[in-house]
Structure 1
Amino acid sequence: MTLNINGIRIPDSLMTRQATELVRDCESDLLFHHSSRVYYWAALAGQQRKLQVDHELLYIGCMFHDMGLTAHHCSCDKRFEVDGANAARDFLQQHHIDQADITKVWTAIALHTTPGIPEFMDPVIALVTAGVEMDVLGINYDGYDADKRDAVVAVHPRSPQFKEDIINTFYQGIKDRPQTTFGNVKADVIADKEPAFVRGNFCSIIRGSQWPA
């Protein structure tokens, strides 16, 4: 079902249709609907902020942002954000997208769990993070009218226990590469699921380096 809300809809092009099919095939229902909602929150945030954005690129960024959590796109040694960014890059290259635009999408996905930075960058980068923050963390929840929230969720539903389900999905996607969570918010996920988990420590790395002082 295609949703048109405030004039925002999924761009109808061969590239976006193929992206939808690819993500649908690779991701669980939970991640697919989450990523779809992220696009609408991101696009609506763009309207709120009066930003001009390429909606095709925004859609690709939103839809691919969690692809690194899937078995199909897990490198098993890189941050899942980088795996997702690389998957989007490869997809966009197949569609002969300009390198500068590919870089925007790659950066948007790579930085979507690094708060406080994307908001100052290109609208594609800023809005992917805004969409993720709305759907996962509820940031700016009241900034979206209730009828718009309800319309998006009606088409792309949240599971009855979405909060716990998304945490568990994050965990399943990163538990075998805990070293990749150093310095980003996903360390909290492993700590939540594994009480014995020892986080990497920035100060310990400084003190333990080979420098004599």
Structure 2
Amino acid sequence: MSKSSEVVAGVAIPDSAMAKAATDLVRETETDLLYHHSRRVFLFGALSGERKGLKYDAELLYIGAMFHDMGIMDKYASDTERFEVDGANAARDFLKSYEVSERDVDDVWDSIALHTTPGIPQHKRPTVALVTAGVEMDVLGIGYNEFSDSQREEVCACHPRGLKFKHGILSSFCLGTIRKPETTFGNVKADVLAKMDPTYQRKDFAELILNSPWES
């Protein structure tokens, strides 16, 4: 059972051995911008879950939130997989050291791998749905007015966005994709490289169909 010694905007931040280890690993591995972003994702995700009346496991949500951008970092980045999948794989490897059921590991994996695939996560179990809800709130402002002023202010007081977060998160996404642009096909990171990499050439799904080796 998770315990907590820290409460932000009414949300208890998990303080179990597993949660502490995840916090330490992310703090040591990620940039300050990504660390604070990940903590805000957890907090906004938890607040979304409480507002929607969802029964969620705070520890699993925390692990998903903390690892969701880990694949951006060189230590965990593969040569060919989407950075979301790299982060999901890192979380799965981390969870092997703890007594976590296969279903819960799969939920954490999905929560990370799907967090940039709009339209699907909200139909999945709470861990998956709420990681994406937290990401969408912090990055895109989706649901912004569904949070109170005091909730937003307290979350950002504990984990500041900074004056250049919008540009900083775009740069982080670019870092996670620019060396493997093929991983942007079919997901929102194509928009990031189209804006930030002048050499990037977007693949067109319709053209791929029309130019496939099939005769008709």
Q: Partners in 1 of 2:98 and 2:29 — Cα distance? A: 19
Q: Partners in 2 of 1:23 and 1:76 — Cα distance? A: 21
Q: Describe the superposition over 1:77-98 as per-residue Cα deviations: whole angstroms up to 9, x where unpaired.
A: 1000000000000001111311
Letter paired with 2:212? S
Paired residue secondary structure (1:56): helix
Matched, 1:67 2:70: yes
8 Å Cα contact 2:64-2:112 kept in structure 1: yes
Q: Match for residue 175 of structure 1?
A: 178
Q: Match for residue 23 of structure 2?
A: 20
Letter paired with 2:111? A
Q: Match for residue 185 of structure 1?
A: 188
For structure 2, the residue ranges without an aligned partner over 5 or more in a row are: none
8 Å Cα contact 2:8-2:158 kept in structure 1: no
Letter paired with 1:189? V
The structure 1 residue matched to 2:83, chosen from 80, 83, 91, is: 80
The structure 2 residue matched to 1:130, chosen from 125, 129, 133, is: 133
Q: Describe the superposition over 1:62-105 as per-residue Cα deviations: whole angstroms up to 9, x where unpaired.
A: 00000000011000210000000000000011113111100000
Letter paired with 1:201? D
* Structure 2 length-normalised TM: 0.95
Q: Partners in 2 of 1:19 and 1:152 — Cα distance? A: 20
Matched, 1:52 2:29: no
Letter paired with 1:48? R
For structure 1, the residue ranges without an aligned partner over 5 or more in a row are: none
Tell me which moved more, 40-49 or 170-179: 170-179
Letter paired with 2:55? Q
**Cα RMSD after superposing both structures:** 1.1
Paired residue secondary structure (1:115): coil
Count of aligned positions: 212
Letter paired with 1:171? C
Tell me which moved more, 126-135 or 148-157: 148-157
Paired residue secondary structure (1:198): coil
8 Å Cα contact 2:178-2:197 kept in structure 1: no
User: 1:209: Cα distance to partner?
Assistant: 1.7
Q: Match for residue 32 of structure 1?
A: 35
Paired residue secondary structure (1:4): strand
Letter paired with 1:23? V
Q: Partners in 1 of 2:209 and 2:76 — Cα distance? A: 32
Identical aligned pairs, as a percentage? Answer: 52
The structure 1 residue matched to 2:159, chosen from 156, 159, 184, is: 156
8 Å Cα contact 1:3-1:155 kept in structure 2: no
Tell me which moved more, 190-199 or 11-20: 190-199
User: 1:195: Cα distance to partner?
Assistant: 3.3
Q: Partners in 2 of 1:144 and 1:7 — Cα distance? A: 12
User: 1:194: Cα distance to partner?
Assistant: 2.0
Paired residue secondary structure (2:15): coil
* Structure 1 length-normalised TM: 0.96
